[in-house]
A and B are shown apart, each in its own frame.
Chain A
């Protein structure tokens, strides 16, 4: 880890008390600052990364598709792979196109082709690499055009496509690529990385604070690191309260007690909690999302209760997304959750 930090920036925090604002008054986002350069530094998905290492050793890259949720290291892996393959020629040998770049058919036809045709001196047996980030947002027309381009220039150029859903990539392209799936990062993996960064940046934190970061990030490393940085620069200490303030999410502990009340059928207490959250200014979507996350993770809920709770929460979420984000909907959800545990004869008139 430390090797990576020194190799990337060559800058270790000399004084551990360096506060958030650097002397220049500008600080790089930690996400960029601590982005791995070596394949071995990538966190999580060890099997997939192992596979990339083999490819890097072999030198003969297939076209690849990396698919997975945001913030789990897809783009980072491609860049690491490109570094490993091309070394110094990285700058000339890589073309990256993002969804934010113009990327219609014309770009595929012209920009990509002219890059593919350009002559670049590379180590023997290596290829130029074209990285298409968020490839699933390309239109199918552009993908069709890409298919042909891939075929024609496969002698000199390899394509790496990163996408969230691999099924948004048309099949002829899938057929030409090796598909690498990235799974969500495990909490322990995120935690380890956060701790490393805390150490290097001299962030003061409590364990609960880091746990809160992990809860809010849900396996998304980028979000976890961003939240860490904002909490640290905003409050100077990473505690659960600060994290939830920064992330502006209802406190999961509050929600958890609320669910426990529901499980016991104590509707009044549960409603009081919802009212409190509502009064704090959280929107209905915020609340219902947190409720879902908490319910998913509650081990003490019996299987049946969990199933029914998730269904009710889902319905409510749907209504809220349809536009009725009101307290009434949340109250109704609570009422339905509570009714489940109240014996049916009590509900008879």
Chain B
């Protein structure tokens, strides 16, 4: 299967007739199973697998595969690995179909012309795919070549570059020069031990890595937490997972052969044995302290035990907090239910020279649309069954940068569209009509308003993809901020039904005379009905309200009054356990938030194109945590320094040498933050000698400052040639530019009403 998948990119297409030829040329896939001890006996297993031939065999194979779950291995080597669990024929077969899809979009590709006259191959693909209809689309139509990957190009390039450096010792596309190369290679590779791919769920980390690894022709050896192996003799029943991981790392960190002899020709001609990469996509239970320590120790020893034949490790970790998704409860995060990658790997590891982190950002809507557009023709054959383009855009908008969930929504939507026969459609129509009426959408400014999308479809989508959606969130917030009341001018035009309903309710009792200031006409918001429609938890909702509130007030007193109530709501919802666990606390807080803000807002609220803004809290909170970490690190560093210096002093018994004066000591954190670090950074950027560990430096410097971590590291060691360091700087710079673009996009997406204006969608080409 792997050889076949690659062949689709190669000169000969993977049509049934020619694929066998390709395979025979490539030889049997070099797959092997890393059993507990021997890797030889397992080889037999895999070589027995029919290398791709006619479709019939494949389909059968797929069915077998479906009934029989994949074998669990402690570790398995899957050569070209699209996904270790995927049925073998899919990866191979979806490759040509991808070609077909790109053809639809008019993008020329190498394998295109071949596909053009091989329609039957496409048919076969479809058939083969049909046999796997049990799979989720996200797995089934995962991209298999780099062009189709959703994340930004710069990130992919960075991953690729790292892998190349880690394996061959120099960046791709730079020709190795001279005899210094060999020396240089080990120097570089020594510090390219661990690659961290982090980012929110569904940003395409795993898929990107697998595709890149496939294109580079790497062996990926993945660590799996397997079922407990019951040993036959009954000697030792259980190995702890960490122990297994440790032995996995030490066992597999060396490529058995080949790598050592592939010297300077590494880039020009591919070595016979494929380079190997270790992959760690599930991390042991690090909330258990001994496990965590053992895990970190294992990684450390993995890093330190570098020899020229050892292979690098890639860790994929879904960071939970950084997506800024509205519903995430920051209280939970604070309590440490979800650890950041720093805590998991340990600071030494993360800040050490061995590891590099590539942070994937949530996908911008335009990228998600592009990915959905790629999948749709593959999944739904007849164009009439496909949902309209606007539906895709809406899905992309509401998926919060999570491509996997967007694909899931699409699948659900399509199954719904496909199943609708006349009778059902009618019923749906009724249901939808009543629904849109009941909802009484008065959201002229809403994000969706810019879309050319029928109300019906929107309602279907609402049902299909009702995640904690930003769309609903804006709707709820708008309801509060517009503070509509029955006496507003023109209110009865907007929603007659609701208006007459509110009108018909009994007039509440009047207020005593001294409270007449607080008399309000009846609100159009029916709080008991409104509360269940709020799509986020109470604390996040209060955050959003808090952030955007002032724009809707006309007087500072109004803001003050509303903030008083937000304060009380906040106190009601303290994180103490007795109180937090009770649903009453949440109810009080919600009522106070909503009612308090409505009472305080002017009536009617003047409309001058106010915008609802994303709370700054998420970003500030993240930054403050990072900074605290760095400060602690800096303080620890200085302390260590002082201890070392005084120990030296005691040992030498003499005066300190001039070029290495003792410094450091126990310094309070605020002094470090306000005086020590800024000064030290100034000194070191003037003197060009590093005084501080690189991790701390960004604390006092803007991220775009000259002195990057890589440079310091290189200068400090002074053993890597100038070109390389320049190259490193170049990379950093390009990455910085790229980041700013991305941050803009992802930041604006949830808040900007015009995020979906046409140009945004079009510029993906």
Contacts and interface: CB of A to CB of B under 8 A. Distances in A.
- Asked whether A and B interact, the reply is yes
Given A155-B134, A174-B201, A296-B591, 4 more contacts: A69-B583, A113-B72, A147-B282, A303-B522
B508 A318 contact: no
B463 A50 contact: yes
13 contacts: A47-B463, A63-B136, A113-B72, A116-B69, A141-B288, A147-B282, A167-B537, A171-B325, A174-B467, A265-B512, A296-B591, A304-B520, A322-B578
A340 B513 CA distance: 11
A61 to B, nearest CB: 9
Count chain B CB atoms within 10 A of each CB in A127, A148, A302 and give the residue with the most. Answer: A302
A156 B749 CA distance: 36
Nearest to A174: B201
B388 interface: no
Interface string A318-339: 1001100000000000000000
Given A54-B415, A310-B595, A154 B135 contact: yes
B572 A54 contact: no
Contacts of A148: 224-225, 281-282
Contact of A166 (B227, B288, B468): B468
Interface in A24-49: 47-48
B360 to A, nearest CB: 13
A154 B515 contact: no
A155 B572 contact: no
A314 B588 CA distance: 6
Nearest to A182: B532
Contact of B511 (A54, A153, A154, A304): A304
Interface in A271-313: 289, 292, 296-297, 299-307, 310-311, 313
B588 A307 contact: no
B592 interface: yes
A249 interface: no
Interface string B407-427: 011011001101100000000
Nearest to B405: A175
Interface in B490-506: 505-506
A107 B229 CA distance: 15
A40 to B, nearest CB: 13
B762 interface: no
A345 to B, nearest CB: 8
Nearest to A298: B508
Contacts of B582: 321
A163 to B, nearest CB: 13
A60 B130 CA distance: 13
A125 B134 contact: yes
Interface string B558-594: 0000000100100110000011001111011001100
A55 interface: yes
A179 B338 contact: no
Contacts of B510: 302
A183 interface: yes
Interface of A: 47-48, 50-51, 54-55, 57-58, 60, 62-63, 69, 105, 109-110, 113-114, 116-117, 119, 125, 127, 139-141, 144-145, 147-148, 151-156, 165-168, 170-172, 174-181, 183-184, 263, 265, 289, 292, 296-297, 299-307, 310-311, 313-314, 317-318, 321-322, 340-344
B595 A167 contact: no
A58 B466 contact: no
A289 B698 CA distance: 51
Count chain A CB atoms within 10 A of each CB in B134, B515, B582, B585 and give the residue with the most. Answer: B134
Contact of A292 (B138, B202, B587): B587
Given A304-B599, A321-B578, A170 B402 contact: no
A307 B596 contact: yes
Nearest to A156: B69
A313 B595 CA distance: 14
B619 interface: no
Interface of B: 65-70, 72, 83-85, 87, 133-136, 138-139, 200-202, 224-225, 227-228, 281-283, 285-288, 318, 320, 323, 325, 327-329, 332, 337-338, 402, 404-405, 408-409, 411-412, 415-416, 418-419, 431, 435, 463-464, 466-468, 505-506, 508-515, 518-520, 522-523, 528, 532-533, 535, 537, 565, 568, 571-572, 578-579, 582-585, 587-588, 591-592, 595-596, 598-599
Contact of A51 (B133, B285, B464, B583): B464
A69 B595 CA distance: 23
A167 B515 contact: no
A110 B227 contact: yes
A304 B512 CA distance: 11
A208 to B, nearest CB: 20
Given A178-B412, A314-B568, A113 B227 contact: yes
A95 to B, nearest CB: 14
Contact of A62 (B65, B318, B411, B532): B411
Contact of B285 (A144, A156, A175): A144
A125 B133 contact: yes
A140 B337 contact: yes
Given A145-B285, A155-B66, A109 B508 contact: no
A303 B282 contact: no
A176 B404 CA distance: 7
Contact of B506 (A144, A177, A299, A343): A299
Contacts of A318: 571-572, 579, 585
B509 A289 contact: no
Contact of B537 (A51, A119, A165, A289): A165
B467 to A, nearest CB: 5
Contacts of B323: 171
B605 to A, nearest CB: 16
In the A-B complex, the 8 residue pairs with the smallest Cβ-Cβ separation, listed nearest first, are A175-B201, A304-B518, A314-B588, A141-B285, A58-B415, A183-B532, A172-B318, A175-B202
A148 B224 CA distance: 9
Given A166-B468, A321-B582, A156 B408 contact: no
B327 A167 contact: yes
Contacts of B579: 318, 321
A303 B509 CA distance: 10
Contacts of B201: 171-172, 174-176
A289 B513 contact: no
B225 A145 contact: yes
A58 B419 contact: yes
Given A60-B415, A306-B595, A155 B338 contact: no
A60 B318 CA distance: 26
Given A62-B411, A311-B568, A127 B282 contact: no
A105 B285 contact: yes
Contacts of A313: 588
A62 B407 CA distance: 11
A224 B172 CA distance: 68
Contacts of B83: 151
A116 B68 CA distance: 10
B208 to A, nearest CB: 15
A302 B509 contact: yes
Nearest to A173: B201
A76 B49 CA distance: 43
Nearest to B505: A299
A155 B225 contact: no
Contacts of A307: 565, 591-592, 595-596, 599
